[in-house]
Structure 1
Amino acid sequence: MTKRLYYEDSYLKEFRAKVLKKIKIDNRLAVVLDETAFYPTSGGQPYDKGVIQDVPVVEVVEEGDEIIHILKEELKEKINSEVVGKIDWKRRFDHMQQHLGQHILSGALMKLWGVETVSFHLGEEVCTLDIAKEKLTEEEAKKAEECTNEIIFDNRPVKCYFVEGEEELERSNLRKVPEKTGKIRIIEVEDFDLSACGGTHCQATGEVGMIKITKWEKRGEKIRLEFICGRRAWKDYFWKN
């Protein structure tokens, strides 16, 4: 079992851990640690990159209760040895901005029109959000973007915590009730949004910087939005102006 340090602190850039296993995944060298700050691909959010003892981590996946770090080359340290892991902070913080931006945008869509989020994907260049709405006008897109940016500019606190049991979940008044049961991690944007999520997030909405909806199109009975946050949105503005 791997303890997930990013649940406790999304800002943790460096950590020490013990090597539990040295394995191969699809003929690629990998290690399992007793605890890690590396986020695995999950919930629409890509994996973290970085190094373990200066060996590049090229992918991170989860299998059951273990997190597997796939490496560029073999780690010299043996089983039970202590190693130091370092996160690629620029990549991690970008993912935190995009993911929290998605929560705020989804919250805005729910509050404005009662529109549910169907799925989310955090891409290398843009993020996509599929919503249960058959049509989205330019005026509505502007309204959703404006509402989202207002929450960002308010710099509201963001809390991460766990709840357990059906009664606790019902009292939480989540935007969308999760399918899984048991211990559920909650992301709370103060006085705005409550969502179940295992991803990494900023500690205040202001750190998202800004959001820009760049495109939307009809996909069956849904609408797919493309959006960017933070440094990505700033770069988009810079190059277009």
Structure 2
Amino acid sequence: MDFPPTKLDYHVDMFNLQSQSRFISVFKAQDGRIALILDSTLFHPQGGGQPADTGLIVFSGSDFKFSVQDVRSKDGIVLHYGVFEGSNPESGMDIEKGKEVYVTVDESRRKLNSRLHSAGHLLDLCMQKVGLGHLEPGKGYHFPDGPFVEYKGSVPQGQMAVKQKELEAEANDLITKGGKVYAAILPYEEASVLCGGNLPDYISKGSTPRIIKLGDSPGCPCGGTHVSDLSDIIAMKVTQMRTKKGITKVFYSIAS
């Protein structure tokens, strides 16, 4: 697609749910869905283990509204999928480029996604505190339907139940104490220091990664949205731990 990369406003401010932007393009995707492209967006696309935001895009000076039902990113361009609303939704495909739009992200969905994502990162910290820091964090799935984090390495079957209880107790202790969540886009060297002196190999030197830091713990690269304080997670339950083929999965849930 011959469009400039979308500016990710949620990287700058995770808690702002309303903003203005400019309409760039609209087209019908191969799967038949309508996709909108803006020059900047508050909508978090599905990725990094986090579900997509939903919400509304309102076109200035008209009765056109676009209900955002899904958001994806491709080659740095954020695609907002959904349907036009208004007296004549079919003519939405003919809206002029450059028109000002007002963006509103669904608050309840964003808050839930952020709490689940932060809880997944909190698990990483707790793994270290209960003597499982030698397991390397891998894929995270921070969706409401059975969130989990994968770790490279095994936990002996005889220790599984004990470690599950220890993880849950440690997580809820940190949630009760609270701690500010810090997010910033930083120069490579500064980001490396904040992450304990090392960055993953997939972060190229000279880049400016976005770093998330929970409380006083070392940070880590992350492009998702998070809570402002660990206490916002409210409470957490480690529902299951299991090891298979050298991969340990830790499943969790959070208070409603």
TM-score of the pair, normalised by structure 1: 0.89
| Aligned pairs for 1:103-118 within 5 A | 103-113=121-131, 114=133, 115-118=135-138
Q: Secondary structure at the match of 2:238?
A: strand
Q: How big is each residue's C-alpha offset from its partner over 1:81-129, in whole Å with a ceiling of 9 and x where there is no partner?
A: 1111211111110010000111111111023321321110122322011
How far, CA to CA, are the matches of 1:146 and 1:202 in structure 2?
A: 20
Do the aligned partners of 1:103 and 1:193 also contact (CA within 8 Å) in 2? no
Report the equivalent of 1:201.
226
Q: Secondary structure at the match of 2:69?
A: strand
Report the equivalent of 1:212.
237
Matched, 1:184 2:209: yes
Do the aligned partners of 1:17 and 1:82 also contact (CA within 8 Å) in 2? yes
- Ranges in structure 2 where 5+ consecutive residues have no aligned partner: 59-64
Tell me by how many angstroms 1:174 deviates: 4.3
Specify whether residues 128 and 176 from structure 1 end up closer, same or farther in structure 2 by C-alpha distance, changes over 3 A only: farther
Do the aligned partners of 2:242 and 2:250 also contact (CA within 8 Å) in 1? yes
Specify whether residues 124 and 197 from structure 1 end up closer, same or farther in structure 2 by C-alpha distance, changes over 3 A only: same
Do the aligned partners of 1:52 and 1:84 also contact (CA within 8 Å) in 2? yes
How far, CA to CA, are the matches of 2:39 and 2:142 in structure 1?
A: 27
2:119 to 95, 98, 101: 101
How far, CA to CA, are the matches of 1:21 and 1:37 in structure 2?
A: 17
Amino acid paired to 2:67: P
Amino acid paired to 1:203: S
How far, CA to CA, are the matches of 2:57 and 2:212 in structure 1?
A: 29
1:11 to 8, 15, 31: 15
How far, CA to CA, are the matches of 2:26 and 2:123 in structure 1?
A: 41
Aligned residues: 230
Specify whether residues 176 and 96 from structure 1 end up closer, same or farther in structure 2 by C-alpha distance, changes over 3 A only: farther
Report the equivalent of 1:139.
162
Matched, 1:22 2:40: no
Percent of residue pairs identical: 23
Pairwise CA RMSD: 1.8
TM-score of the pair, normalised by structure 2: 0.84
How far, CA to CA, are the matches of 1:11 and 1:173 in structure 2?
A: 23
Q: Secondary structure at the match of 2:108?
A: helix
How far, CA to CA, are the matches of 2:173 and 2:79 in structure 1?
A: 39
How far, CA to CA, are the matches of 2:160 and 2:141 in structure 1?
A: 22
Q: Secondary structure at the match of 1:145?
A: helix
1:158 to 175, 181, 187: 181
Tell me by how many angstroms 1:175 deviates: 9.2
Report the equivalent of 2:192.
170
Q: Secondary structure at the match of 2:228?
A: coil
How far, CA to CA, are the matches of 2:194 and 2:18 in structure 1?
A: 33
Tell me by how many angstroms 1:40 deviates: 0.4
1:119 to 139, 146, 151: 139
How far, CA to CA, are the matches of 1:47 and 1:82 in structure 2?
A: 23
Report the equivalent of 1:35.
40
Q: How big is each residue's C-alpha offset from its partner over 1:177-213, in whole Å with a ceiling of 9 and x where there is no partner?
A: 3312211111111212411100000111010111111
How far, CA to CA, are the matches of 2:190 and 2:227 in structure 1?
A: 24
Q: Secondary structure at the match of 1:72?
A: strand
Do the aligned partners of 2:239 and 2:252 also contact (CA within 8 Å) in 1? yes
User: If you compute each CA radius of gyration, which structure gives the higher value, 1 or 2?
Assistant: 2
How far, CA to CA, are the matches of 2:173 and 2:187 in structure 1?
A: 32
How far, CA to CA, are the matches of 2:226 and 2:109 in structure 1?
A: 13
1:84 to 70, 88, 102: 102
Specify whether residues 61 and 97 from structure 1 end up closer, same or farther in structure 2 by C-alpha distance, changes over 3 A only: same
Amino acid paired to 1:139: V
How far, CA to CA, are the matches of 1:214 and 1:79 in structure 2?
A: 49
| Aligned pairs for 1:230-241 within 5 A | 230-231=255-256
2:56 to 51, 56, 68: 51
Tell me by how many angstroms 1:176 deviates: 7.2
